Structure 1
């Protein structure tokens, strides 16, 4: 992974599609996801409506096909992760795509076979093989991105992959359903389409650039035991708490989404009284919502890994899931009340049950628009929730084990989806309705998200910084690419207000540990915020030699571990808006741990609510400049430690203060 260059600083996420380092990879994974779903859905429709065999009843066909597809993720993800870490990822992806062509050739034979006793077992075998194909491709897919994208492109790249995947799933399902229904030639059309898409995917994979493995990963011996390897990868991820808890957070998103996707047919028929096309409309809304939420991540995050979006997404997931329950409960009577209670209208004996509505009749009822909006925004919230987590894992996981950690994530995803199916089934069997299941998942999401954010306060801190710099202030950043995406450095800035550290957090692509006056930790709200941010308390040596010495020890530890340290060299918040002399404490840090120093200038905060303009008191007149007050941050090039002097660094920051931020980002 590289830092941004001037040539790439202004690129948008869609520009990546025109570049060889991303375009062929994107279309390869897009075609693979589309083909998976085209084949599975066409086969499901075939054995449900057109071709029945005694040993696979239609009621179990979808469950059996889904289980066969997921099984390889549980069995072979650990091995797949090792292969992705040890091999050139481009070679592996081309090999997997060649395997897909062979599998689809076998599936084409199955679709064209006359005897059901040959056709169905052959196609079931192909389902399992396509599951294996996706298992092998998944770790390589997500490990490929941080190898070819700059740190500030990761969010946009993941957003394209996430939205593209759901659009591919949608198009694959629609194509599979339409093709298999063609009179007389449906199975032939599906066979040709599956094989054609596989060949197209193989062709795009041939253009994926070389992606050599990490030397340390290649040197490690293969462990062919999937159980011990999975456990080892989970333990490795557990050593990086933010990474491990992000794995759990992503798996929860799949738990959450799987409940809705699995229940759309029942929800459409029994609650909304809609036909199969209404169920397809719900799938379209969900897929489009995921895509919109994913694509919005880059714009909202200012092209960095902005995990402050995760709490925003979690809030939306719960709010719109709960509102969906209220919206469904408020639908007119006539079969709906019985369905909400868990009893289909025909069983409940409700009189004059209306015929199932088509899409036109469904959309003609204003009450149904609330249902549609809830589903669209719920899915968009899931996109906001998941994309930053994927990007964070890629950014923080060690390169030598990145694919293996992602493989462990795939296993967790599969297990969470299985548990979600069992849990939803148990609730439905106990007499709860479909929308009651939606409500239960929405409420459970509140508890799960609260637990995750309590364990990883970094999410909430970034959310606070995100909201502060978009509601109370409108932050513009110039030169943000000078903040290194990796490696140790000291970030120094002028000290204008009580929220300076939070503003710098919002602008940084990675966490910053700040040296801060120990007295601020005694302030109720501010103390909690900065303790959660793992800020380092410091006091004058004359006041507390212990705190003083401990602060410099901790600062050295931060830099030795390769992290960012934030310092306000003035030592205190300005009382007159002018830059104060820089104190020599920074030199003591650099003498012990020589690292680059990145100068930054905060602009526009003087005179705001959190500055000391009113007789030295902050918040004397809250929101004195209203909401969306413009502020800026200009970051200068890093200074080598040997060239740092307090007076020259102060002059550099003063020069930055005199430059307008401009459009920024």
Structure 2
């Protein structure tokens, strides 16, 4: 695989653009056809058959979700067992047949045939969906995944918005059935041409035995998701996005017409801004995160989403009698609702992309498709819950504004719940905020930290910010060994405990705490984790490296693993160092946008490890910049 420097260069490379085009046309086709049917059935309601039309519209929403619940297990298995490019081509052949059936249904105007075709398109999309996220790790470099996922999400929501507009407009013409038929046939043809250029992608688990019982396999992939706590909570976080999105998109038309006082043009503008903004937020992730998965963006996205959702929702709003077109609405009521919509969309994108990238990074490649399949099942279930939630709220006489407000409150509660439940998200968020607002950071050699397997991270200790800096730019969680009294500090101590830091004391203070710390560090390494320590054992008082203590030798005697030397540069003299007095109790000097650095060296052989060699390596990495 080759790396790209130009932000949009992936669209010029075969390893990405054919796959992007295949997925884009597939989603576009689904939405053109679905929204054409919704318009068709809505027109039937105008002719007098309200009950049948309402039932058919609700069925349209259900038949595209149901296949994800029923057949995602199959989709994950096929994607892991077979060449993904071949699976894509067979599924696209199926799409051609389904679209022909759909065109026949439009020709004879049979509701049964049309609903059946929509259901089959849902099945076809279900079979493709796990490939959408398991294909990319096999063709993109690690530092391209955020960008690739951002482009995919941008394409997804652009296709949804475009499909909504195209399907509705085409069906509004007198010969709408014919126009829609031509449109979906053309989109299908382009999708087939794209899929022929998708590069071969070797199966990740060719010996997998297919389980043909859908319920048994669905349960198996759900258990697979639940095995890893971080992955399971990540999947639930993605599912909440679909819950939120389903509630928002379902309630926006009525909320806009009844409470905002905008007509269908305003509704379309809000839909369009929301979809496009999600895509922009998704693309922005790559810029913000410097091309690496940054889980600290997840709480950032949730906080921003909650803020703009609260501002968008006005519980005290009253029903208005007049609906203004787009131009009159802007002139009369301003653009606040549109700014809120853009904010919600962008923060949704910032929230969503790191979640999918985290699944790709933390899941073995041989299981990735099945984990994504489990994610699809849970996501579909949450979308159904969203519909049930809205129905129950309506029957309890809550207004549409109340439904949106309650969804905002639930998102806020979820945000506050996720922070302690997944401390990595919160700590990386704090680290990301501190590092990206206070300093300009130069990074070098961090790819020498292994993506998998145990290792010990050793670093010079200049400031209280040292572990935060390392945490902010390491792709994996690190269990730092910290002085035991830090764990007794209110709030901060609780965070340290949630981050599974290892408390340590000296032989004079409490030998039992020290021995337990060494035992915990060895256990963490045997569990394949990273352990971080500062061999000086205390902050430098003069900016120079102090004496390295022998605790690391005792750890290596029991568990010989690679030792990664790291040096932080430029923090001596900062607010978080001892240069000007006690840490954080002196007046800050040169703390805003000051240039600092973090440098990693080659791994040291544990069998030949010495404290002097380690100290010399860190000194060489640090240079003259303390």
Q: Which residue of 1 aligns with 2:113?
A: 122
In structure 2, runs of 5+ residues without a counterpart are none
Question: Does residue 269 of structure 1 match 2:260?
Answer: no
Matches within 5 A, 1:205-224: 205-215=195-205, 218-224=206-212
Which of the numbers 567, 570, 592 marks the counterpart of 1:627? 592
State the shift of 1:300 in Å: 1.5
Which of the numbers 60, 63, 72 marks the counterpart of 2:55? 60
Q: Which residue of 1 aligns with 2:296?
A: 308
State the shift of 1:575 in Å: 0.8
The answer (yes or no) to whether the contact 2:518–2:551 under 8 Å persists in 1 is no
Q: Which residue of 2 aligns with 1:32?
A: 26
Which of the numbers 318, 325, 331 marks the counterpart of 1:358? 325
Tell me the distance in 2 between the aligned counterparts of 1:266 and 1:478.
53
Q: Which residue of 1 aligns with 2:156?
A: 165
Partner SS for 1:630: strand
Q: Which residue of 1 aligns with 2:241?
A: 253
Tell me the distance in 2 between the aligned counterparts of 1:450 and 1:168.
33
Which of the numbers 565, 584, 601 marks the counterpart of 2:567? 601
Partner SS for 2:596: strand
Tell me the distance in 1 between the aligned counterparts of 2:145 and 2:107.
43
State the shift of 1:660 in Å: 8.1
Deviation sequence 1:115-142 (CA, Å, 0-9, x none): x3xx221111110001101111111211
Tell me the distance in 1 between the aligned counterparts of 2:457 and 2:9.
31
Matches within 5 A, 1:230-629: 230-326=218-314, 329=316, 337=318, 339=319, 353-354=321-322, 356-365=323-332, 367-541=333-507, 543-615=509-581, 617-621=582-586, 623-629=588-594
Q: Which residue of 1 aligns with 2:100?
A: 105
Q: Which residue of 2 aligns with 1:350?
A: none
Question: Does residue 204 of structure 1 match 2:188?
Answer: no
Partner SS for 2:8: helix
In structure 1, runs of 5+ residues without a counterpart are 330-335, 340-344, 346-352
The answer (yes or no) to whether the contact 1:152–1:509 under 8 Å persists in 2 is no
Q: Which residue of 2 aligns with 1:349?
A: none
In structure 2, the CA distance between the partners of 1:590 and 1:211, relative to structure 1 (3 Å rule), is: farther
Tell me the distance in 2 between the aligned counterparts of 1:494 and 1:626.
20
The answer (yes or no) to whether the contact 2:28–2:163 under 8 Å persists in 1 is yes
Question: Does residue 145 of structure 1 match 2:136?
Answer: yes
The answer (yes or no) to whether the contact 2:262–2:329 under 8 Å persists in 1 is yes
The answer (yes or no) to whether the contact 2:22–2:191 under 8 Å persists in 1 is yes
The answer (yes or no) to whether the contact 2:480–2:533 under 8 Å persists in 1 is yes
State the shift of 1:12 in Å: 5.2
Question: Does residue 191 of structure 1 match 2:158?
Answer: no
Q: Which residue of 2 aligns with 1:348?
A: none
Tell me the distance in 1 between the aligned counterparts of 2:363 and 2:56.
39
In structure 2, the CA distance between the partners of 1:641 and 1:198, relative to structure 1 (3 Å rule), is: farther
Question: Does residue 88 of structure 1 match 2:83?
Answer: yes
Partner SS for 2:135: helix
State the shift of 1:557 in Å: 2.5
Tell me the distance in 1 between the aligned counterparts of 2:239 and 2:141.
26
Partner SS for 1:219: coil
Tell me the distance in 2 between the aligned counterparts of 1:136 and 1:657.
52
Partner SS for 1:82: helix
The answer (yes or no) to whether the contact 2:575–2:591 under 8 Å persists in 1 is no
In structure 2, the CA distance between the partners of 1:105 and 1:659, relative to structure 1 (3 Å rule), is: farther
Tell me the distance in 2 between the aligned counterparts of 1:210 and 1:622.
60
Question: Does residue 646 of structure 1 match 2:611?
Answer: yes
Q: Which residue of 1 aligns with 2:122?
A: 131
Bigger CA drift: 472-481 or 461-470?
A: 472-481
Tell me the distance in 2 between the aligned counterparts of 1:659 and 1:198.
62
Partner SS for 2:313: helix
In structure 2, the CA distance between the partners of 1:313 and 1:439, relative to structure 1 (3 Å rule), is: same
Q: Which residue of 2 aligns with 1:22?
A: 16
In structure 2, the CA distance between the partners of 1:612 and 1:78, relative to structure 1 (3 Å rule), is: same
Tell me the distance in 1 between the aligned counterparts of 2:8 and 2:566.
30
Bigger CA drift: 125-134 or 225-234?
A: 225-234
Tell me the distance in 2 between the aligned counterparts of 1:509 and 1:15.
24
CA RMSD of aligned residues (A): 2.3
Partner SS for 2:565: strand
Deviation sequence 1:526-559 (CA, Å, 0-9, x none): 3223222211222334543333333233222322
The answer (yes or no) to whether the contact 1:513–1:565 under 8 Å persists in 2 is yes
Tell me the distance in 2 between the aligned counterparts of 1:561 and 1:13.
37
State the shift of 1:90 in Å: 1.8
Tell me the distance in 1 between the aligned counterparts of 2:288 and 2:624.
25
TM-score, length-normalised on structure 2?
0.94
Partner SS for 1:364: helix
The answer (yes or no) to whether the contact 2:226–2:232 under 8 Å persists in 1 is yes
Tell me the distance in 1 between the aligned counterparts of 2:549 and 2:495.
26
The answer (yes or no) to whether the contact 1:614–1:620 under 8 Å persists in 2 is no
